[in-house]
Amino acid sequence: MERQRCRFGSSDGAGRFLISLEDLELVTEDESLDLAGNDNDGDNNENGEQEIEQEEDGLLGYWQNIGRRHQVVVPRDLAEPIQQMSRNNQSHDRELVPFTTIGHKTKSEELLYEKRQYKKAKWACVIQDKSSYEQSTCLGFMKLMKYICQQNSAGHFLGITLPIVTIVHTNRTRTELQPEVTTAYYLPAQFQNQTPQPFDAEIAIEEWPAHIIYTRPFNGNSTEELILQQINQLVQHLDAPEQFLQDTFIVAAYNNPAAPNQHNEIWFIHRP
């Protein structure tokens, strides 16, 4: 595949999610007010606008604390998008990227990989190239979150889809991830034909072709070391690894990295 802009499999990168959609599950509305140093009684919140502002401040403070641990500044203009994501972050509100399972390989009841068919679809994606891939994925995700939360030509919340993916590239020996990161969000089915355009010029709407993916699940914090380990483990289970892109892989994140049992997948892209 060609290496242009954010196109599927098109950019050198590495990534994981340090701030994710499901980080919002760690804070309830009351807890967010506590983090902001506000009174939960509502005595000082006599008007609705003040309550909303305090709630936004609490959630923003929570995300800013997360960002500081990873040397990422979470700007104040992210307060409203964070609140929107929090309000809509229920399991029944999330749309999974559709696929068809067309095969799998197991050994002693362990799933070595699953073979899937993904249809042609539109994704919003953004490239970041900061000093660390952690920073790049955080900043890329924050840009996508603003797009999802009304900063688009439709002017409304688009909805949460899972997984959020990062396209990663390695060196020839698959021992090192490249610094540039592509973070991508699958457009919900209702927006596949008429896609809201982003206000942020760094976000591109790309149509990824139909493709076959070989995927292996893994749990844990998707650090660079773990990603490389999972890539090389899946290589060992494939009957013909030369049939796959050799330096382009995808990390799919389904939940919050602070969760005790994180669910991720490594995806290998079958050559067209």
For residue 106, pLDDT beyond 90: yes
Average pLDDT over residues 80-107: 79
Say what the pLDDT of residue 249 is.
94
Q: What distance in Å separates the CA atoms of residue 272 and residue 155, rounded to the nearest whole number?
A: 37
Name which residue leads in pLDDT, 97 or 272. 97
Of the given ranges (58-72, 97-111, 236-250), which has the lowest mean pLDDT?
Answer: 58-72
Which CATH superfamily includes the segment(s) 91-270?
Answer: Regulatory factor, effector binding domain (3.20.80.10)
Average pLDDT over residues 153-181: 90
Average pLDDT over residues 188-196: 96
Name which residue leads in pLDDT, 56 or 113. 113
With a pLDDT cut of 70, the percent of the chain lying above it is 64
- Nearest Cα to Cα of residue 144 among 5, 17, 9: 17
Buried b (16+ CB within 10 A) or exposed e, 47-78: eeeebebbbbbbbbbbbbebbeeeebebeeeb
Encode pLDDT of 16-49 as tens digits.
333 444 444 443 333 332 323 344 444 544 555 5
Say what the pLDDT of residue 112 is.
95
Every domain of the chain and the residues it spans: 91-270
For residue 133, pLDDT beyond 90: no
Average pLDDT over residues 117-126: 97
| Mean pLDDT estimate for the chain | 77
Of the given ranges (10-14, 54-58, 106-110, 170-174), which has the lowest mean pLDDT?
Answer: 10-14
Average pLDDT over residues 98-112: 94
This prediction's pTM = 0.75
Say what the pLDDT of residue 70 is.
59
Say what the pLDDT of residue 128 is.
87
